[in-house]
Copies of this chain bind each other. A is one copy, B any other.
């Protein structure tokens, strides 16, 4: 990975063509890898997107550097530069060239335990110590990592990838091209208890737990199954690491959840909703389409479509900013205000 990987050879001219930029310097300069400015060597591509990294640029050993037009003449050792409007975006587009894919093992590892009642599609990979439960269906080319557990009765679509140690409980429904990262836990009975004659007992959760096509669940994230309703994560919604989705939550399509987000029970999230890191939603809350929930915001009441909310309790971001600004200024005037009121009361 990075500088040492000779998998790809690409010239400065070819880079410029791919990203729609132009070369200043040696158009034949060849790079094999990518690396940040301070680590890059003569066969690495790097980028300079912001003046604050000019210090690294000044002494960088990078062979080729993507630079924005306004930074094209920054002083520094790299002599071959590809000038392009948005160097970071250009770099992101080029990354796939430099990423070495992990080789995919073929077939079922002899230590994997596959129930005789499981149905495996064509070309599936099941790695060492994985367990495929009774009645499981795996779609074509599903790739189940080492130690992963696919619980009894779970259906898994095509081209799905479970990384090592991903676990589904029993009876989960997983669409095509879904990715479960390491330590993801999907389909646990939700956190519900009721009083009974024998004390507190768990509410059974016969509801479903559905991950639609192209969903991604991050490392160590947890999605519970439904009790009186289903838990559904809509197509192409992506969860980062350490996210929790409780029972009976329905999430629409194309949503993004940054790391550390928590969604409490029975909430409904629309399509294309974005959640910043460590934000949360209380129980039984409805959030409309294309809402943006800022990092660390806590939503405890319904949010109409299309707006941005922040803070706790979450409010429209513009109002919240006004309150934060007012609060910062209040510290300086609270005492005079109290005095003024006291004098007024006396007079």
- Measured in the bound complex, the distance between the Cα atoms of B279 and A298 in whole Å is 11
Given contacts A95-B227, A165-B149, A171-B1, contact A333 B323 (CB under 8 A): no
Give the contact stretch, choosing among A19-27, A71-79, A241-249.
A241-249
A181 interfacial by beta-carbon distance below 8 Å: yes
Max chain B Cβ within 10 angstroms of own Cβ: one of A111, A246, A258: A258
A6 interfacial by beta-carbon distance below 8 Å: no
| Chain A contact residues: helix, strand, loop or mixed | loop
B328 touches A333 (CB 8 A): no
Give the contact stretch, choosing among A10-18, A118-126, A136-144, A312-320.
A312-320
A228 interfacial by beta-carbon distance below 8 Å: yes
Number of copies of this chain that the complex holds = 3
A158 interfacial by beta-carbon distance below 8 Å: no
A244 touches B222 (CB 8 A): no
CB distance from A136 to the nearest CB of B (A): 13
Chain B contacts for A153, CB-based, 8 A: 1
Chain B contacts for A194, CB-based, 8 A: 89, 92-93
Pick the contact of A129: B5, B147, B240, B256 (CB < 8 A). B147
A51 interfacial by beta-carbon distance below 8 Å: no
The chain B residue sitting closest to A241, CB to CB, is: B222
> How many residues of A are in contact with the other chain, CB < 8 A?
114
Pick the contact of A204: B99, B296, B313, B337 (CB < 8 A). B99
- Measured in the bound complex, the distance between the Cα atoms of B101 and A204 in whole Å is 10
- Measured in the bound complex, the distance between the Cα atoms of B149 and A192 in whole Å is 26
Given contacts A149-B164, A260-B244, A333-B338, contact A185 B220 (CB under 8 A): yes
A341 interfacial by beta-carbon distance below 8 Å: yes
B340 touches A2 (CB 8 A): no
A219 interfacial by beta-carbon distance below 8 Å: yes
A36 interfacial by beta-carbon distance below 8 Å: yes
A203 touches B129 (CB 8 A): no
- Measured in the bound complex, the distance between the Cα atoms of B152 and A240 in whole Å is 23
A330 touches B330 (CB 8 A): yes
Chain B contacts for A244, CB-based, 8 A: 240-242, 259-260
Max chain B Cβ within 10 angstroms of own Cβ: one of A203, A224, A323, A341: A323
Chain B contacts for A319, CB-based, 8 A: 328, 331
A236 interfacial by beta-carbon distance below 8 Å: yes
A344 touches B334 (CB 8 A): no
Pick the contact of A165: B2, B165, B311 (CB < 8 A). B165
Known: A188-B241, A193-B238, A199-B214. 13 other contacts (CB 8 A): A1-B153, A36-B229, A36-B230, A163-B169, A163-B188, A165-B183, A169-B182, A191-B258, A199-B236, A220-B242, A260-B262, A264-B277, A295-B298
What 10 pairs across the A-B complex have the smallest Cβ distances? A99-B204, A322-B331, A326-B334, A185-B219, A191-B240, A222-B241, A36-B229, A244-B259, A95-B204, A1-B171
